């Protein structure tokens, strides 16, 4: 690699790092706990996904225009794999995927999910919703594992459980935010089965039927967190702490929703500084996250 090319790649990674720093997330993204040499690779993937998500959410554009932006982003992804990247994100991404032998599929799946966000705002069943999670959330965990050199199917499956749980947690905490975008990530058949309705949801009716509906959503996410927990002890220490923070972070959001008696209409659920300090301490001292099942720990916040 000549000096000019190296400068271009370095600037591209700096561009991705800035995008990562400038966006709020409940869960740590490429934090200082990630080994320094891995961080730029994670930031390049985050920047790729973040900008695609912004295209899908661009309220000033029509659905057709947003799909066109995503089509163009997908075409740039294909060019990236041909060694023809031009945009800073794809210059950095090209370096990432070539050095780590990352296939295009998980990245293409992310774009597919963002297109779903433009074209689909209701989900008839949990199967439909989990298909969305398969494309929107699960590729992220698999990409992180690949960055750390893991390509084992068992680890991918456990990661899928945690990532789907995180996605379902985001849906639960952002019910009101998504309503403003005319999006509902609560399966229609479950809304009906708990005696609730779309009309009540958009009117933000908080009643016992809604509580039972949300209890079911929270419990499904929580069980998926437990199902994937084994992953944390199957990876090396350079990734374990980060995964524990993500795991405890997701669980803490679920716990905040429970403590609010499932009233996610009042305000958006976010983690406070105190919550994040507690999450960090749990990540340091509880190597076995299954201990979090104990009521004494579950109540701590």
Q: What percent of the chain has pLDDT over 70?
A: 84
Last residue of a domain, one of 96, 119, 142: 119
Sort 162 into a burial class: Cβ within 10 Å, 0-12 / 13-18 / 19+: buried
Alpha-helical runs (H) found in 174-207: 175-180, 188-193, 198-202
Are residue 106 and residue 126 in the same domain, yes or no? no
Are residue 140 and residue 285 in the same domain, yes or no? yes
Neighbouring residues of 156: CB distance < 8 A, sequence distance ≥ 6: 141, 142, 145
Measured from the Cβ of residue 238, the count of other Cβ atoms closer than 10 Å reads 12
136: Cα separation from own chain's centroid:
7
- CA–CA gap between residue 80 and residue 97 (Å, rounded): 9
What is the domain count for the chain?
2
Are residue 7 and residue 105 in the same domain, yes or no? yes
Neighbouring residues of 96: CB distance < 8 A, sequence distance ≥ 6: 40, 41, 44, 45, 102, 147
Last residue of a domain, one of 95, 119, 143: 119
Are residue 290 and residue 212 in the same domain, yes or no? yes
Are residue 96 and residue 152 in the same domain, yes or no? no
Are residue 218 and residue 101 in the same domain, yes or no? no
The residue ranking higher by pLDDT, 183 or 281, is 183
What is the residue range of 163's domain? 122-301
Mean pLDDT across 12-34: 72
Are residue 276 and residue 162 in the same domain, yes or no? yes
Are residue 102 and residue 128 in the same domain, yes or no? no
pLDDT for position 288: 66
Specify the range with the lowest mean pLDDT, choosing from 26-35, 37-46, 115-124, 250-259.
Answer: 26-35
Mean pLDDT across 217-238: 94
Handedness of CA 131, 181, 110, 166 (dihedral sign): negative
Q: How confident is the model at residue 58 (pLDDT cuts 50, 70, 90)?
A: confident
pLDDT for position 235: 94
pLDDT for 37 beyond 80: yes
Convert the pLDDT of each residue in 75-133 to its tens digit.
999 999 999 999 999 999 999 999 999 999 999 999 999 999 999 999 999 999 999 99
CATH number of the domain bearing residue 164: 1.10.600.10
Q: How confident is the model at residue 276 (pLDDT cuts 50, 70, 90)?
A: low
Mean pLDDT across 209-233: 96
- CA–CA gap between residue 254 and residue 113 (Å, rounded): 24
pLDDT for position 23: 74
pLDDT for 257 beyond 70: yes
Q: How confident is the model at residue 27 (pLDDT cuts 50, 70, 90)?
A: very low
pLDDT for 61 beyond 60: yes
pLDDT for position 218: 97
Are residue 66 and residue 135 in the same domain, yes or no? no
Last residue of a domain, one of 119, 137, 172: 119
- CA–CA gap between residue 186 and residue 198 (Å, rounded): 10
Are residue 17 and residue 113 in the same domain, yes or no? yes
pLDDT for position 226: 95
Mean pLDDT across 147-174: 96
- Tokens at residue 58, please? 């661009």
Specify the range with the lowest mean pLDDT, choosing from 27-36, 63-72, 197-206, 245-254.
Answer: 27-36
Q: Which string of DSSP letters, residue by residue, matches 7-62?
A: HHHHHHHHHHHHHHHTS--SS-SS-TTS-TTTHHHHHHHHHHHHHHHHHHH-TTS-
Q: Which string of DSSP letters, residue by residue, matches 147-167?
A: HTT---HHHHHHHHHHHHHHH
Are residue 17 and residue 135 in the same domain, yes or no? no
Question: 278 with 252: CB under 8 angstroms?
Answer: yes
């Amino acid at each position: 690699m000549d000096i000019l090319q190296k400068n271009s790649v370095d600037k591209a990674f700096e561009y991705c790092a800035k995008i990562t720093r400038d966006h709020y997330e409940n869960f740590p993204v490429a934090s200082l706990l990630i080994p320094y040499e891995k961080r730029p690779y994670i930031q390049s993937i985050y920047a790729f996904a973040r900008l695609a998500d912004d295209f899908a959410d661009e309220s000033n554009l029509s659905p057709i225009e947003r799909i066109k932006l995503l089509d163009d982003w997908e075409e740039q992804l294909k060019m990236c794999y041909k060694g023809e990247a031009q945009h800073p994100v794809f210059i950095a991404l090209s370096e990432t995927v070539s050095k780590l032998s990352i296939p295009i599929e998980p990245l293409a799946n992310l774009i597919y999910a963002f297109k779903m966000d433009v074209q689909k705002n209701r989900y008839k069943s949990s199967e439909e919703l989990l298909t969305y999670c398969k494309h929107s959330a699960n590729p992220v965990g698999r990409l992180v594992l690949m960055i750390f050199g893991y390509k084992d199917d068992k680890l991918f499956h456990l990661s899928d459980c945690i990532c789907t749980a995180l996605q379902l947690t985001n849906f639960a905490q952002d019910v009101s935010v998504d309503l403003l975008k005319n999006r509902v990530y609560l399966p229609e058949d479950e809304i009906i089965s708990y005696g609730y309705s779309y009309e009540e949801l958009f009117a933000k009716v908080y009643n016992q039927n809604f509580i039972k509906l949300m209890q079911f959503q929270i419990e499904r996410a929580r069980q998926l967190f437990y199902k994937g927990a084994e992953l944390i002890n199957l990876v090396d220490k350079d990734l374990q702490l980060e995964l524990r923070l993500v795991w405890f972070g997701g669980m803490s959001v679920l716990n905040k929703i429970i403590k609010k008696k499932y009233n996610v209409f009042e305000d958006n659920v976010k983690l406070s500084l105190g919550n994040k300090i507690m999450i960090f301490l749990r990540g340091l001292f509880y190597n076995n996250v299954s201990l979090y099942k104990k009521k004494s720990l579950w109540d701590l916040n």
